[in-house]
């Protein structure tokens, strides 16, 4: 992911993740790659996200008002190793069990980034309740204005699944945006409308931010075909999307289907 997005310069931007179907996993995968390349990394949320359990996290900072001003460093044999720090304003019990980090304010993001321009800041900007696909509600996503890249995630295992609350987060907005009805089977056309609609996947993205579609869960031949079809439609559009990336888990692989390496 780091190479696909060309995140190798000193001033790495704020990157916001939206959508559903693997958003948190993608965010921490990128964080681990950036750490391996020698970067300290900050990961946070402006809404809420589950407290990391299996993700590659070195430290966690939670406080309602105080900003984290330094990164603990791991030292081994005289070598300083960069760390991943997860930042939230507090911890609360999630609706479906499990503890959640509560989000930080947009003002806190701005103030922190002013003093840490060389530290990548990865932001989970909306929730999805572990569904493979979603459309945003009126109050979301909560994307920092300093965001230079928005990565919109769609889980391809939604393809062919019925439009219902088991598969779709925010069912009513999804139906409006995709022109679908409860009980319909989710199709390429539905996902295309989700990507292109002004109240769809990239709702409230800053005008100057690069918009990248990440098609996750491309683990079967049919899912990879769906990814190619969607990439072709994005390529032919004037939607402002700069690239389409697909990922599969077995083996783990990220591929640029269309667009320039950022």
Tokens representing 123 are 């932001």
Dist. CA 44–CA 125, nearest whole Å: 9
pTM for the model: 0.92
Among 91, 88, 7, 100, smallest CA distance to 46 is for 88
Cβ count near 183 (within 10 Å)? 8
Segment 142-157, tens digit of pLDDT: 999 999 999 999 999 9
Say what the pLDDT of residue 9 is: 55
Among 65, 61, 43, smallest CA distance to 125 is for 43
Burial class from Cβ neighbours inside 10 Å (0-12, 13-18, 19+) for residue 179 reads exposed
Dist. CA 204–CA 48, nearest whole Å: 18
Apex 123 CA angle, 12 and 87, nearest 5 = 100
Dist. CA 82–CA 39, nearest whole Å: 6
How, if at all, do strands 48-50 and 99-102 pair? antiparallel
Tokens representing 259 are 């667009």
Q: Beta-strand (E) ranges in 46-117?
A: 48-50, 59-62, 74-76, 79-81, 84-88, 90-93, 99-102
Collect the ranges in the chain with pLDDT lower than 50.
262
């Amino acid at each position: 992911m780091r190479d696909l997005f060309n995140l190798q310069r000193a001033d790495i931007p704020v990157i916001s993740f939206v959508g559903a179907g693997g958003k948190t996993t993608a965010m921490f995968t990128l964080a681990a790659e950036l750490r391996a390349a020698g970067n300290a990394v900050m990961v946070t949320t402006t809404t809420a996200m589950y407290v990391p359990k299996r993700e590659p996290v070195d430290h966690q900072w939670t406080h309602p008002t105080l900003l984290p001003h330094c990164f603990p460093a791991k030292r081994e044999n005289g070598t300083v190793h960069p760390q991943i720090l997860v930042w939230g304003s507090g911890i609360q019990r999630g609706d479906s069990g499990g503890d959640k980090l509560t989000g930080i304010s947009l003002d806190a993001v701005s103030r922190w980034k002013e003093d840490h321009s060389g530290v990548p800041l990865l932001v989970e900007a909306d929730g999805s309740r572990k569904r493979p696909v979603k459309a945003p509600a009126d109050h979301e996503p909560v994307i920092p204005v300093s965001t230079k890249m928005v990565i919109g995630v769609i889980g391809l295992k939604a393809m062919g699944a019925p439009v219902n609350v088991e598969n779709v987060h925010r069912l009513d907005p999804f139906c409006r945006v995709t022109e679908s009805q409860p009980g319909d089977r989710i199709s390429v056309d539905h996902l295309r409308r989700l990507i292109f609609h002004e109240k769809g996947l990239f709702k409230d993205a800053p005008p100057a931010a690069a918009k990248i579609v990440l098609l996750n869960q491309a683990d079967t031949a049919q899912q990879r075909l769906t990814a190619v079809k969607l990439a072709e439609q994005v390529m032919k559009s004037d939607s402002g999307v700069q690239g389409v990336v697909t990922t599969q888990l077995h083996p783990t692989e990220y591929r640029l289907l269309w667009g320039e390496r950022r």
